[in-house]
């Protein structure tokens, strides 16, 4: 397992500052928030971004996230897929192996919607393979389908393409209808990326993204997940991902050091 930090944890900061400060705090792997990448590329080219990573010894293990692919229609659908193509090219050019796709199918779904969702995953996986990128489907506990790990695994297995895997966001696993036994469905082949956070002391039914806190500091310990990752020999990244406005106010250097120490403790790895 490779400890990583998601740049969304320092959302207000610039990508250049985040990369410099995370690297200074001994972080060498990130989950790149695509909003940060878009902001950086408004004034620079991809080569400059590649050099930024190289100069600081940073590897981007994943890029997060692409939404709107699954059940959107009409002009909105065309726009989402246009963004998807651009992001596949960005991942290819930066050698980012995983692009997280949101399972954001909300509201009532009929048979046509489910068919469109499945076909969209097939098409996304095929396009990703052409770019030498793997799509990681992140189930959303608030979605209509899939909203749990079991359903997400079933979708990935039904597509049956190696360029499609699972992104397990521990927050959505914890607050949604997933069950502990579902962790046994994870394998080294179907798990593409892991995002980890804990939950503040609130009822899980009421937890929001703003209640995400550092791993090991709340009411949602990840011991069973870590044991499963060890058991399957998961070789990918485990990234701290918090969307907490309070933590956003912490300077990236300070946040990176504290978050990486917390993550290594949860993963059972020695701190640096």
3-class secondary-structure state, position 117: helix
In a domain, 168, yes or no: yes
What pLDDT is stored for residue 101 in this prediction? 98
Q: In tens digits, what is the pLDDT along the chain, a chain of 272 residues?
A: 999 999 999 999 999 999 999 999 999 999 999 999 999 999 999 999 999 999 999 999 999 999 999 999 999 999 999 999 999 999 999 999 999 999 999 989 999 999 999 999 999 999 999 999 999 999 999 999 999 999 999 999 999 999 999 999 999 999 999 999 999 999 999 999 999 999 998 888 899 999 999 999 998 999 999 999 999 999 999 999 999 999 999 999 999 999 999 999 999 985 44
Supply the pTM of this predicted model.
0.96
Residue 196: domain span: 2-267
Residues 63 and 44: their CA atoms lie apart, in Å, by 18
Residue 117 domain-assigned (yes or no): yes
- CA of residue 231 relative to chain centroid, distance: 21
Q: How many domains does the chain have?
A: 1
Give Cβ neighbours of residue 162 (< 8 Å, ≥ 6 apart): 129, 134, 189
Look at residue 270 in the predicted model and tell me its pLDDT. 55
Q: Which two tokens stand for residue 39?
A: 């902001």
Asked if 36 and 66 touch (Cβ cutoff 8 Å), the reply is: no
DSSP per-residue string spanning 131-153: TT-EEEEEE-TTSSSS-SHHHHH
Residue 108 carries which DSSP code?
Answer: -
Q: Which pLDDT score, from 0 to 100, does residue 268 have?
A: 92
**Is residue 272 situated within a structural domain?**
no
65 φ/ψ angles, rounded to the nearest 5 degrees:
-140, 165
Q: In angstroms, rounded to a whole number, what is the distance separating the alpha carbons of residues 256 and 250?
A: 9
Q: Using alpha carbons, select from 66, 141, 142 the residue that is nearest to residue 102.
A: 66
Q: Specify the CATH number for the domain of residue 119.
A: 3.20.20.150
């Amino acid at each position: 397992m490779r400890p990583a930090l998601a740049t969304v944890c320092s959302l207000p900061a610039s990508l250049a500052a985040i990369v410099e400060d995370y690297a200074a705090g001994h972080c060498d792997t990130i989950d790149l928030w695509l909003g940060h990448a878009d902001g950086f590329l408004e004034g620079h080219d991809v080569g400059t971004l590649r050099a930024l990573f190289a100069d600081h010894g940073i590897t981007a293990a994943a890029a997060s996230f692409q939404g709107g692919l699954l059940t959107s229609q009409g002009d909105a659908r065309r726009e989402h897929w246009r963004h998807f193509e651009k992001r596949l090219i960005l991942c290819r050019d930066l050698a980012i192996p995983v692009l997280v796709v949101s399972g954001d199918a909300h509201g009532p779904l009929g048979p046509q919607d489910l068919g469109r969702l499945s076909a969209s995953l097939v098409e996304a996986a095929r396009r990703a393979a052409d770019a030498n990128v793997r799509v990681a489907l992140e189930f959303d506990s608030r979605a209509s389908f899939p909203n749990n790990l079991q359903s997400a695994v079933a979708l990935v297995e039904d597509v049956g393409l190696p360029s499609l895997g699972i992104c397990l966001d521990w927050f959505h696993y914890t607050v949604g209808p997933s069950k502990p036994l579902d962790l046994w469905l994870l394998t080294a082949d179907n798990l593409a990326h892991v995002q980890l956070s804990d939950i503040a002391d609130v009822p899980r039914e009421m937890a929001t993204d703003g209640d995400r806190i550092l791993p090991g500091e709340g009411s949602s310990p990840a011991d069973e997940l870590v044991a499963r990752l060890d058991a399957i020999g998961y070789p990918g990244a485990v990234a701290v991902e918090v969307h907490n406005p309070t933590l956003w106010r912490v300077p990236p250097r300070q946040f990176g050091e504290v978050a990486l120490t917390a993550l290594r403790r949860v993963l059972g790895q020695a701190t640096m």
